Structure 1
Amino acid sequence: MSQPNESPRRAAQRAINAFPHWPVYLVGALPGLWTFWLAVSDQLGADPVKTLEHMLGLWALRFLIASLTVTPLRRIGGPNLVRFRRALGLLAFFYACAHLLTWIALDRGPDLAAILGDIVKRPYITLGMATFAILVPLAWTSNARAIKRMGAGAWQRLHRWVYLAAILAIAHYLLSLKSWTLEPLAYAAAVTALLLFRVFSSPRGNRRPTPAESG
């Protein structure tokens, strides 16, 4: 129920703040479930494993970009979606896990030597593994308990590594393609714009993260 004389913007924000987290996870899982269904029903083309691997990685990148848009959106006067940033980040991590497991289990097989060889010799795989290595501690500490245990300053410093993860992720994506179309260039432009916003936007002090920001 809206308050007397409450502005539409404030009422909309109050509705956002009351919205639960679970629908974000549910809706976020749907593209992955649909992609797996297409895979098992043999609807992913001539190379279904590569297509499955590509689509899962692409959704990881999309959710990573979405999580990075939360702060710029708030700072330019848009809705404050900070309470959903953890969900978006975790969805990016879950899709990255699925992307990696698909590559290991279905593409490369159980050949550990071949997997390690690819990581060392193929730059885009090296970048992908580096991205995943950064996402693991970020996902592990994306909760209020981690903020309390680590302290706000240390937690913030750790989670700034998400920007490096975004750079590595877009480089991994671009190098994995045989040719660049408008879509990958659009993702690269989005990551570049978000990084520039981070560098040039005015900080608002060392504000302590809240439980809502970490989920």
Structure 2
Amino acid sequence: MSLNTVVQKTPAWTMYILLLFPGVALFWSVLRDPGPNPVENLEHGLGEFALRILVLGLLITPLRDMLRLNLIKFRRSIGLMAFFYVFAHLVVYLLLDKQLMWKPIIKDLTQRPYIILGVVSFLILLLLAITSNSWSIRKLGTVVWRKLHWWVYVACFLGVTHFIFLKKTWQAEPLIYFGVFVVLIGYRGVKHLRSG
């Protein structure tokens, strides 16, 4: 049995469960061993999972084109789970980190520009999550809907940039994400030019 056959026989909803495991494991890890800053560990961990899942979603087309591995049926669930982790990341920041105290939040927005990048990325992903359904495709039309969902690349770029500036130093991990993103956007750009 080929890998594509296994993929086609696997229900799309299984991806939700699979991608929920890292978040549950992170939460359990923080509960079991809080460390000196459990809120920061949870907050940053959720953000990194969101970024990884976003990149996974962007890999679907190259994997189909180059390896003939068709994961298109999981694209919606992957995208929605990426939004779930971004939303959880934001909730931890607002409720646990800043405890809904608006002065520190506003101070962060004015003194840490990378947080604004994260907020804009969240708003884009919110719009994409809201329109990730058949009803929206029918109402917007396929062409408009596809153009709208190209904004996932903008959201991913903002997320990667947010991560780079969060680290404050040129560490390997955020730069790897940036490199992978550049390769993916370059691939899609070349493909678009060739098809046009």
Q: Which residue of 2 aligns with 1:78?
A: 68
**Paired-residue identity, %:** 39
Contact map agreement 1:74 1:80 (CA 8 A) in 2: yes
Q: Which residue of 2 aligns with 1:24?
A: 15
Label 1:203 to 1:72 Cα distance change in 2 as closer, same or farther (>3 A). Answer: farther
1:27-64 Cα offsets, whole Å, 9 max, x none, are 111111111112223x1421111111100000000000
Match of 2:84 among 72, 77, 94: 94
Match of 1:76, SS state, is helix
| Amino acid across the alignment from 2:20 | A
Q: Which residue of 1 aligns with 2:26?
A: 35
Q: Please give the alpha-carbon distance, in whole angstroms, between the structure 1 residues aligned to 2:26 and 2:3.
A: 33
Match of 1:130 among 120, 123, 132: 120
Label 1:203 to 1:71 Cα distance change in 2 as closer, same or farther (>3 A). Answer: farther
Any stretches of 5+ residues in structure 2 without a counterpart?
none
Deviation at 1:79, TM superposition (A): 0.4
Q: Which residue of 2 aligns with 1:4?
A: none
Any stretches of 5+ residues in structure 1 without a counterpart?
1-7, 207-215
TM-score normalised over the length of structure 2 = 0.93
Match of 1:55 among 37, 45, 51: 45
Q: Please give the alpha-carbon distance, in whole angstroms, between the structure 1 residues aligned to 2:160 and 2:93.
A: 18
Contact map agreement 1:141 1:147 (CA 8 A) in 2: yes
Contact map agreement 1:60 1:92 (CA 8 A) in 2: yes
Larger C-alpha radius of gyration, 1 or 2?
1
TM-score normalised over the length of structure 1 = 0.85
Q: Please give the alpha-carbon distance, in whole angstroms, between the structure 1 residues aligned to 2:34 and 2:193.
A: 45
Match of 2:168, SS state, is coil
Instruction: Verify: 1:170 aligned to 2:127, yes or no.
Output: no
RMSD: 1.8
Q: What is the aligned length?
A: 196
| Amino acid across the alignment from 1:186 | I
